[in-house]
């Protein structure tokens, strides 16, 4: 899955879909979009609309919380873990590293209890 396909999938087709699985490429391309995109958008809005542009940009970022959580949960499902494993990041020092390990791990080959392999579909 490429950059634009990942963004399209996460923002339109699976905006608030917490079931199923997401491949590593789907998650990490969307994560790249979430880290670079908002800075560019807020910068452009600020240059055009001044302070109101920043407010509009922040409101747009709030609209991205749901698809961000949804793709994160689907990514954890791909590694055969419940979405509740997201809260492991609250454990000081080791929790964030463990979550990162889960997110970069290869998905379960074949079907698992969360659905079919997204790479085979």
Report the distance separating Cα 121 and Cα 107, nearest Å: 13
- Taking only the tens place, the pLDDT of each residue in 67-95 is 999 999 999 999 999 999 999 999 999 99
Cβ 76 vs Cβ 86: under 8 Å: yes
| Domain regions of the chain by residue span | 3-104
List Cα–Cα distances, 57 to 9, 13, 70, 74, 84, in angstroms.
21, 22, 21, 26, 29
Q: Which two tokens stand for residue 115?
A: 């659905």
Report the pLDDT averaged over residues 84-111.
Answer: 94
Q: pLDDT (tens digit, 9 = 90+) per residue, 31-41? A: 999 988 878 87
């Amino acid at each position: 899955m490429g950059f634009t396909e990942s963004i399209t999938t996460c923002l339109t087709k699976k905006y608030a879909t917490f079931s199923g699985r997401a491949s590593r490429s789907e998650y990490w391309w969307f994560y790249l979009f979430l880290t670079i995109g908002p800075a560019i958008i807020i910068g452009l809005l600020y240059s055009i609309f001044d302070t109101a542009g920043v407010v509009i940009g922040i409101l747009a970022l709030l609209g991205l919380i749901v698809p961000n959580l949804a793709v994160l949960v689907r990514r954890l499902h791909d590694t055969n873990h419940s979405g509740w494993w997201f809260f492991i990041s609250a454990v000081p020092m080791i929790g964030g590293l463990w979550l990162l390990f889960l997110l970069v791990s290869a998905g379960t080959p074949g079907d698992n209890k969360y659905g079919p392999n997204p790479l085979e579909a």
